[in-house]
Homo-oligomer: A and B are copies of this chain.
């Protein structure tokens, strides 16, 4: 049984970019040499989230639209120094998508469901983001 911690870097293109990281997680699992175990995944940011869903770009636009329908930029926010979009990015990260998940490792591979892909969701602006990956197993 071992523990391996890695960081993945992800360059995002701006609000609503779903940057897929499934392959990067799989590569970290392969480097760790774990055959049976788990990989825990988390964003190191408060305006970029982690989510698991279908690789349909239209669904990702639906999700971006749903963020702004739920938390309109036209509302008054107190955390306003960097604009309403920044406040909404914080709310969407903590209250909608969340910043962490986990995936199983079976036979040395990331074994998620048929339609599940793992994404870093950029909620603020184009940035170089970091994702923690912890791999535990044998």
- B-contacting residues of A (Cβ < 8 Å)? 1-3, 5, 36-38, 40, 42-46, 51-54, 56, 58-59, 61-63, 66-67, 69-71, 75, 77-79, 87, 90-91, 93-104, 106, 112-116, 130, 132, 134, 136-138
Contacts and interface: CB of A to CB of B under 8 A. Distances in A.
B58 A79 contact: yes
11 contacts: A2-B138, A44-B112, A46-B53, A51-B94, A52-B100, A59-B78, A62-B77, A62-B87, A62-B91, A70-B70, A102-B134
A104 to B, nearest CB: 5
A42 B101 contact: yes
Q: How many copies does the complex hold?
A: 3
- Name the prevailing secondary structure of the A interface residues: mixed
Given A46-B52, A46-B54, A66-B95, 16 more contacts: A42-B101, A42-B103, A43-B113, A44-B113, A44-B114, A46-B53, A46-B115, A53-B90, A59-B79, A59-B90, A62-B78, A62-B87, A63-B90, A70-B70, A100-B101, A136-B136
A87 B1 CA distance: 40
A73 B71 CA distance: 17
